[in-house]
Structure 1
Amino acid sequence: MKRIMGLDVGEKRMGVAISDPMGWTAQGVDMVRRDQPDWLKRLQELIEQYEVDKLVVGLPRNMDGSIGEKGQICQELSRQLEERFSIPVELWDERLSTVAVERTLIDADMSRRKRRKVIDQMAASWILQGYLDAQRRNRDV
């Protein structure tokens, strides 16, 4: 089976998570620096390495559900990724994912420097796990 890749898109960095082949769990695997000229090449390498057949991009929504500037950027990026890699891209509501992950890391007493190194991957995992859980619930209905 192919895998699903989850992306937490930031201005400078993008957290990357991958599902297991059965689509049950998500694990953070990398952080891609979007401020580097070859970031799309690195993303392509990860897609090929993990045999990804779908991307799930976190869509930051405002608390009222509306889509602001950051959400519009993610929508446009999703269209570009779908065109470039010729695989389906789905947007997934990521409200509070980074906040939840940061709170978890603080509760685990992780230093700010260590948190900075893993937060993007963990946020991508959070987004992808939410997507995977919803897909499983929909299949079970």
Structure 2
Amino acid sequence: MSIISALGLDVGRKRIGIAGCDGTGLIATGLTTLERTSFASDVEQLRCWVQERHVQVLVVGLPYCMNGDLGFQARQVQKFAQGLSRALQLPVEYVDERLTSVEAESLLRAAHLSPSRNRGLIDRTAAALILQQWLDDRRADLVTAKNPSGVG
């Protein structure tokens, strides 16, 4: 399996949670949370992470509606991600992130941290969940491709 350096993004109106993966491409970790100011500023801050981590792909959480439709927020995220892809000259892959923020809040509560006081931590934890899902799906796809019969 080829190792890939990916950046996971949980894009919100006010903040962007950022996650990266380890050198093996197995484990996603929350890195930081950007406070959004302008598209140009967002791009420059993300460009630093991309260069530092030699990123090859952006993995963006897409907030589908619960019925599976792309709502207003999902279309806004797609528009942002497409602009980011052009600006950073990197491919974008999307992951269904419908419940990642809820899951991130649950993880914080389990660690005895207050979700309301740790919005940035929720965003980067959600980004890590998005990236981990992508890494796991990618690994599962590679295993299936190597052994299509499922016997093994």
TM-score, shorter chain, exceeding 0.5? yes
Equivalent positions of 1:102-121 (< 5 A) are 102-112=105-115, 114-121=117-124
CA RMSD of aligned residues (A): 1.4
Among 9, 12, 31, the residue aligned to 2:11: 9
Among 87, 93, 97, the residue aligned to 2:96: 93
SS of 2:118's partner is helix
Partner of 1:21: 23
State TM-score, norm by structure 1: 0.93
State TM-score, norm by structure 2: 0.87
What is the letter of the counterpart of residue 5 of structure 2?
R
Equivalent positions of 1:51-130 (< 5 A) are 51-112=54-115, 114-130=117-133
SS of 2:13's partner is coil
- Quickly say closer, same or farther: Cα 1:50–1:102, change in 2 above 3 A: same
Which stretch shows the higher mean deviation, 130-139 or 110-119?
Answer: 110-119
Q: Is the 8 A contact 2:22 2:28 kept in 1?
A: yes
Q: Structure 2: 5+ residue runs without aligned partners?
A: 145-152
Once the two structures are aligned, what percentage of the paired residues are identical?
35
Matches of 2:115 and 2:17 in 1, distance apart?
A: 17
SS of 1:118's partner is helix
Matches of 2:17 and 2:41 in 1, distance apart?
A: 16
Matches of 2:42 and 2:23 in 1, distance apart?
A: 25
Matches of 2:37 and 2:87 in 1, distance apart?
A: 18
TM-fit CA distance, 1:19: 1.0
What is the letter of the counterpart of residue 85 of structure 1?
L
- Quickly say closer, same or farther: Cα 1:100–1:90, change in 2 above 3 A: same
Q: Is the 8 A contact 2:15 2:34 kept in 1?
A: yes
Larger Rg: 2
Q: Is the 8 A contact 2:28 2:128 kept in 1?
A: yes
